[in-house]
Amino acid sequence: EAEVAQSPRYKITEKSQAVAFWCDPISGHATLYWYRQILGQGPELLVQFQDESVVDDSQLPKDRFSAERLKGVDSTLKIQPAELGDSAMYLCASSLDRKETQYFGPGTRLLVL
């Protein structure tokens, strides 16, 4: 069964450092989402891509976060500089198209010290 791949699974960093997360969606899925989930909360959208284009990045803290999906396949989310409040689970999800069911990857758990 096809799955969304993410790496790394865990990341510990110090504040002010740069971190990057990678996501490889299910093959053929045009839509890719990055969500952030704080412990005890539901996931919240950071950015949505349709192929290589950004559809919605209204909730992305653009002063420190950036995301790209250059070839419309895999995607990278970067934080620079990391802050203590960025500690969370970063989830990538993909769907065949915008209105199809979203399938989540295993997530990257980030701890900022």
Chain residues binding other proteins by CB under 8 A are: 31, 33, 35, 40-45, 48, 55-56, 58, 91, 98-99, 101-107, 109
Name the residue nearer to other proteins (CB basis): 17 or 96.
Answer: 96
The edge-to-edge listing of strands for the beta sheet with 75-79 is 5-7, 19-24, 75-79, 65-68
Q: Is residue 76 within 8 Å of 67, Cβ to Cβ?
A: yes
Nearest residue to 37 (alpha-carbon basis) of 15, 14, 6, 74? 6
First to last CA, the chain: 37
CB of 10 to other proteins, least distance (A): 10
CB of 94 to other proteins, least distance (A): 12
Q: What is the CA radius of gyration of the chain?
A: 13
CB of 37 to other proteins, least distance (A): 8
CB of 24 to other proteins, least distance (A): 14
Name the residue nearer to other proteins (CB basis): 22 or 104.
Answer: 104
